Structures are given as C-alpha cells and as structure tokens.
C-alpha cells in the first residue's frame, strides 16, 4: 500500500472514531437528561460587586422579579439579591424579607414531619393508607413510602373549590373526593399524595397541621417569617404578576391554595427556607439514619419533596404565579433558593438557576 493511501486511511479512521465518540456522548447526555439535573460549572473569578451586578443582570435579562438567596464557598456566607416589586401598585420593592407562597417546596416540610413521627414509632414507612382513609380505593396497598415518593397510583389535577376551605379535614376530603386511585404503583406526581400525608399527620397527633408544623419545625428553627394562608399573610406577601413588558396582576386563586394542605398553603421567605434545608443537612431536625431513611439514602430520584442527584438535590414549586426553585450543588458549594413573583415557566426557572449558579460558583 502506498504512503498516500496509508495517510488517507488513517485520517478516515480518525474521523470515524470522532463521530462514534460524539454519538456516544450525545446518547449519554440524553440518558442524563432523564434525571433532569442542572449542571453548574465554575467560571472566571469575579469580585463581589461585579458578581451581584451579574446576578441582577440575569433577572433583568429574563424579565422576572423576585429574590435569590445563596451561599457559596466553604465559608457558607449568605447573600441575597432582589429585583422588581412585591407590590407594584404601592411601589413596594422585593427584598430579602419578602414573603412568597412556598408552593410545592412545602412538601419537604410535610415529609420531615412524617419522618419525625416514624422516629417516634407512631408510623412506619410500611403503614398503609387504609389505616386512616379506608375509603380511598386500593388504600390497603398504598403505604407511607408510596405517598412520599409519588408511587401510590393516585392521580389528581388541581381542581379549585368554589370558596376557601377553612380547616384541614375539608382540604383532605376535597382531595379524596377528586382523586383517582388506579392501583398501579407507578411514579405520578400529584399534590393529593401530600394532602393525604398532611391528613395523616393531623390524625396521628390529634392536632392541626399548622400546630404540628409550628411545634416540630417552625419554633425549633425560629422560622418567624413562615405562616399559613390567611388574610394577614395574603396582605403582607408579594403579589404575583404576569410575564411581559406590561405590568399586570396575575389572577390568584386563594380557593385553590386553601385546598393544598401540606403542599401549597404556606408563605415564607427564602431565608426561612434556607434555614430549614440547612437544618436538614446538618442533622438538626433529623438524625443521619433518619434522613437516610427519608431520602432512601439520597438515591438519584424523587423522594420526600426533593429530586436527588449525585452531587446534591433540588426542588421546584410552581403555583398561582409563584415560581420557586431550590438547588444545592455540593461539588461546587453552591446553595441557592430562587423565589419569583413574576416569571414565565418552570423550564425558564431551571435555566435561570443554571446561569445564576455558574456566576455564584465563580
């Protein structure tokens, strides 16, 4: 074989090898996308002033309003950035003390209380739903673990009652009357699972959900800016606004929020939520073994309010015009809580978290 042919054959083989590697990389990327994680990558170092300005610029570029609270580095110093208005009509700006509806980020509170009751031997992961709500179809096959992980086979949309529900039992009965129990123990995300868990909490303790939450979590952690849905909280919290250049109020459904016991009827600040997740991580609320049981040893999947991935965890809460995102990347020491009262979609929020995280990790 001539020298020229050898060179051409070698080049062809190298090119073919590059194509194979590129294809394999793409397949791996698609596989990883199933886990729906956000990658954070360090960039160049920037000073504090420039970093805060860059973070604000992301808000302005995406045309959203809200508050970001974050920690970065091993010192874990807490910082915050706020953009836009909590009440545009009264020209009240968003700040680190602004209250936002917690939405589905509340599920981790409910799950933590359940684990505390398990630690007290009042429940177990294998306790059946039929012990508390036997009228739910297939309740004898549905366990606490199934409810925590959305593998109960229960399906339900977000039907809103015609008026605000005023007590825990009415919220639970609303869910029971509108859910569909299929008997298929497959993953299906629905608020109904956590409404039932909240109901179980009230039955086991003979107290209201809010009383138990206050006793088990709010008072021990001094979360003074976390409150249930009521007229006082509604009036002091951030209003929600529609996405776009024109500032228009988002149509809130407090009736819907009142039905979301244990999964969407709380208001809080990003700082209060950060205190809560930090207490989980440093085992102030749960022991190492209890947290491992609740999270299934941080298995890469959804469990008890969080989506776990190899280097951390995340949670989303989208409801009534509020867009909330929690992201903790332990490999980059980047811990973020983003709460928006003017947003557009969960996909935009996740993309924004990635962009903000890249800045924070730099």
pLDDT classification of 5: cutoffs 50, 70, 90: very low
pLDDT value at residue 36: 47
Arithmetic mean of pLDDT over the chain: 87
Q: Is residue 10 part of a domain?
A: no
What is the residue whose two structure tokens read 């995102």? 325
| Cα–Cα distance for residue pair 9/161, rounded to 1 Å | 71
* 295 occurs within a structural domain: yes
pLDDT band at 74 (very low <50, low <70, confident <90, very high): low
Residue 24 forms part of a structural domain: no
With a cut of 80, say whether residue 7 has pLDDT above it: no
**CB–CB of 52/362 below 8 Å?**
no
Backbone φ and ψ of 129, nearest 5°: -60, -30
Chain center to CA of 88: 26
Domain assignment of residue 235, yes or no: yes
Query: What pLDDT score was predicted for residue 346?
Result: 81
Question: What is the average pLDDT across 19-43?
Answer: 39
Give the residue carrying structure tokens 């008997």: 183
Q: Which residue range forms the structural domain that includes residue 87?
A: 45-362
14 has pLDDT over 50: no
Banded pLDDT at 350 (limits 50, 70, 90): confident
Q: Is residue 137 part of a domain?
A: yes
Residue 6, pLDDT above cutoff 50: no
pLDDT at residue 245 in the model: 82
- Residue 266 φ then ψ, to 5°: -120, 150
**What's the confidence (pLDDT) of residue 250?**
92
Can you tell me the distance from the alpha carbon of 263 to that of 282, in angstroms, rounded to the nearest whole number? 24
Best-predicted range by mean pLDDT (43-52, 57-66, 104-113, 297-306): 104-113
Q: Which residue would you say has higher pLDDT here, 353 or 174?
A: 174
3-state secondary structure of 125: coil
Closest CA to 150 of 188, 100, 98: 188
pLDDT in tens, 284-326: 999 999 999 999 988 889 999 999 998 899 999 999 999 999 9
Looking at residue 171, what is its pLDDT? Answer: 98
Distance spanning both ends of the chain, measured CA to CA: 54
Of the pLDDT bands very low, low, confident and very high (cuts 50, 70, 90), residue 28 is very low
89 in a domain, yes or no? yes
Q: What percent of the chain has pLDDT over 70?
A: 85
Query: Are the CB atoms for 144 and 130 separated by under 8 Å?
Result: no
Mean pLDDT of all residues in 178-207: 98
Tell me the mean pLDDT in the region 42-66: 80
Q: Is residue 167 part of a domain?
A: yes
Strand order in the sheet with 77-83: 77-83, 65-72, 334-342, 322-329, 312-319, 306-309, 302-303
pLDDT at 233: 81
Residue 20 above 70 pLDDT? no
pLDDT over 50 (residue 23): no
| Residue 42 pLDDT greater than 70, yes or no | no
Radius of gyration of the chain (CA): 23
Report pLDDT for 51: 85
pLDDT (0 to 100) of residue 251 = 87
Both tokens assigned to 301: 């999947």
pTM reported for the whole predicted model: 0.86
> For 201-249, how does the pLDDT look when each residue is reduced to its tens digit (9 = 90+)?
999 999 999 999 999 999 999 999 999 988 788 888 999 999 888 899 9
Encoded tokens for 252: 């809130």
Please count the other Cβ atoms lying within 10 Å of the Cβ belonging to residue 8.
11
Query: How many structural domains comprise the chain?
Result: 1
Higher pLDDT, 46 or 30: 46
Q: What is the CATH number of the domain that holds 282?
A: 3.40.710.10
Q: At 49, is the pLDDT very low, low, confident or very high (cuts 50, 70, 90)?
A: low
What pLDDT score does 29 carry?
Answer: 32
3-state secondary structure of 32: helix
Residue 227, strand partner residues: 267
Rounded distance between C-alpha atoms, residue 242 and residue 41, angstroms: 31
Q: What pLDDT is attached to residue 128?
A: 99
Question: Is residue 8 included in any domain, yes or no?
Answer: no
pLDDT at 31: 30
pLDDT above 80 for 50: yes
pLDDT(112) > 90: yes
Residue 114 to residue 107: CA distance in whole angstroms = 11
Sequential DSSP letters for 171-213: HHHHHHHH-EE-S-------HHHHHHHHHHHHHHHTS-HHHHH
């Amino acid at each position: 074989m001539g020298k020229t042919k050898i060179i051409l054959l070698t080049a062809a083989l190298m090119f073919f090898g590059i194509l194979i590697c590129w294809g394999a990389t793409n397949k791996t990327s698609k596989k990883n996308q199933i886990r729906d994680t956000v990658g954070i990558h360090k960039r160049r170092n920037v000073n504090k002033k420039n970093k805060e300005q860059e973070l604000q610029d992301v808000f302005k570029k995406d045309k959203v309003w809200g508050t970001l609270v974050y920690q970065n580095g091993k010192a874990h110093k807490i910082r915050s950035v706020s953009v836009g208005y909590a009440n545009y009509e009264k020209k009240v700006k968003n700040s680190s003390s602004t209250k936002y509806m917690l939405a589905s980020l509340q599920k981790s509170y409910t799950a933590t209380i359940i684990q505390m009751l398990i630690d007290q031997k009042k429940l177990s992961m294998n306790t059946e739903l039929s012990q508390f709500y036997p009228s739910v179809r297939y309740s004898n096959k549905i366990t606490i673990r199934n409810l925590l992980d959305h593998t109960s086979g229960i399906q339900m949309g977000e039907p809103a009652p015609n008026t605000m529900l005023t007590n825990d039992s009415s919220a639970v009965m609303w869910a029971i009357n509108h859910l569909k129990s299929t008997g298929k123990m497959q993953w299906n995300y629905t608020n109904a699972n956590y409404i039932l868990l909240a109901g179980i909490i009230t039955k086991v303790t003979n107290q209201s959900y809010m009383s138990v939450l206050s006793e088990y979590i709010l008072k021990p952690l001094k979360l003074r800016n976390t409150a249930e849905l009521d007229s006082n909280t509604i009036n002091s919290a951030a209003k929600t606004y529609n996405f776009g250049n024109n500032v228009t109020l988002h149509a809130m459904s407090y009736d819907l929020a009142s039905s979301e016991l244990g999964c969407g009827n709380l208001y809080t600040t990003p700082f209060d939520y950060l205190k809560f997740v930090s207490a989980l991580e440093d085992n102030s609320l749960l022991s190492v073994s209890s947290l491992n049981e609740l999270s299934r040893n941080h298995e890469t999947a959804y469990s008890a309010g969080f989506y776990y991935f190899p280097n951390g965890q995340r949670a989303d809460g989208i409801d009534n015009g509020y867009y909330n995102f929690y992201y903790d990347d332990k490999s980059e020491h980047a811990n973020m809580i983003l709460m928006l009262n003017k947003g557009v979609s969960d996909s935009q929020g996740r993309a924004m978290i990635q962009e903000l995280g890249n800045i924070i990790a730099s």
